[in-house]
Amino acid sequence: MGSKRQDDRSRTVPGFSRRAFIKSCGAGTMAFAVGAGAAGTQDAPPALAPGDDLVPVTLDINGEPRKVLVEPRWTLLFLLREKLGLTAAKAGCERGECGACTVLIDDVPRYACLTLALEAQGQRIETAEGLMDGERLGGVQQSFVHEDGLQCGYCTPGQVMAAEGLLRSNPNPSFDEIRAGMSGNLCRCGAYAHIFKSVADAAKRRKS
């Protein structure tokens, strides 16, 4: 053991110990880091990116003009839920895959999570709250209750809005057309059979 340590010392450069070498490296690294940090501080971007200022807009939501201040980056879903208290549209995947946030824009089902609030200016926005008459459920909502078209209920407002949009464009859809029209909305509980029955029931109610 002693001979190995002696051999290690014999390979050290005279006048420059291992400890001195490590200390010099540490000091150099510290100096570089401080210099780089100072340079980075000088060229740092502003705290807020351009375009984050609030913009005044008037949106037609459920037949009522709503004057609001929005950031250009805000989604319609964020505005509805967090700023206006209209929570029927749900935050699910937030990337346009589940349909829990579906609303109608000019009678067409749209994902609110993929729609910027500013995009909806000058268009009619409808949420599940807007289908009700006070505390009375709308026709599609009544059909979902009648046909037990829900289980946990989280996706139901989006399902209802997709069905409402489908029936406005096609008042008498076939079973295959109902399946296609509802295909953009996922139900984690797997209540699809009852959902399709609910849409068919809503179509019958509109004829009577």
Cβ within 8 Å of residue 140, ≥6 positions away: 131, 160, 163, 164, 167, 198, 199, 202
CATH number of the domain enclosing 82: 3.10.20.30
Mean pLDDT calculated for residue range 48-71? 87
| Residue 200 belongs to a domain | yes
Q: Are residues 92 and 113 in the same domain?
A: yes
| Residue 96 belongs to a domain | yes
Number of separate domains in the chain = 2
CATH number of the domain enclosing 175: 1.10.150.120
Sheet order of strands, 102-105 included: 64-70, 55-61, 124-126, 102-105, 108-111
**112-151 residue pLDDT tens:** 999 999 999 999 999 999 999 999 999 999 999 999 999 9
pTM: 0.75
For residue 117, the enclosing domain spans 55-130
